[in-house]
Amino acid sequence: MLEILKLVVSILFGGAAGAFLNEWFRRRKGKVQRISLIERVNRSANPELEGITLARMVGEEPLRHLEELANLREYQLTLRNTSSINLQNIEIQFEFPSTDVESWVSRPSMSKTALVPIETDPTAQEETTFRWRIPHLPAGDSIEFTFRAVNPPSGNYEVALYN
């Protein structure tokens, strides 16, 4: 009788423990979602056409003049929600190793919800940080990011996705 009880208890609790572990792993896997960040462009923007120079306007109106840009790097990135869930209120942060960086960001192609810029303090002195909150990013939606950095020491950058 004791051996039958042991067999019944092991079958019942063994199956319950297996079901519990299976559910725990399923929920844990569901919390981690794959979001693709595609680097389309990371190049130095130096024209090789004779007689053409990259320059920008600097200074105030009476003393305004053109300044030649010897090292301009362009970054173009696409954030794509490749998961099966709609993401809400996530934040994305970019850090560049230059103090002179210009940014441009599109609205998501499907939801058309404008991104909310968030004020940041750079972690290093010679660094520029950009951060946005994305209110709604449905499954399959994407956002385009473009950055232009003047005199970066390298083509490296850091990206982090929060929430």
Token pair 């809400």 is found at: 88
Q: And the tokens for 77?
A: 């990135």
- N-term to C-term CA, the chain: 55
Distances (CA, A) of 15 to 9, 23, 28, 40, 86: 10, 12, 20, 49, 34
Question: Per residue in 130-162, is it b (16+ CB within 10 Å) or e — as a string?
Answer: bbbebeebeeebbbbbebbbbebeeeebeeeee
Read off the pTM: 0.73
Each residue's pLDDT tens digit, 107-117: 988 888 999 99
Q: Please report which confidence band the pLDDT of residue 16 belongs to, taking 50, 70 and 90 as the band edges.
A: low
112: alpha, beta or left? (left if phi > 0; alpha if psi -120 to 50): left
Each residue's pLDDT tens digit, 22-67: 676 666 665 566 778 888 888 887 767 777 888 888 888 889 998 8
| CA nearest to 105, candidates 90, 89, 94, 96 | 94
State the DSSP string of 127-163: -EEEEEEEEEE-TT-EEEEEEEEES-SSS--EEEEE-
Each residue's pLDDT tens digit, 136-160: 999 899 999 999 998 898 889 999 9
Cβ neighbourhood burial of 27 (10 Å; 0-12, 13-18, 19+): exposed
How many Å apart are CA 91 and CA 113, to the nearest integer?
A: 14
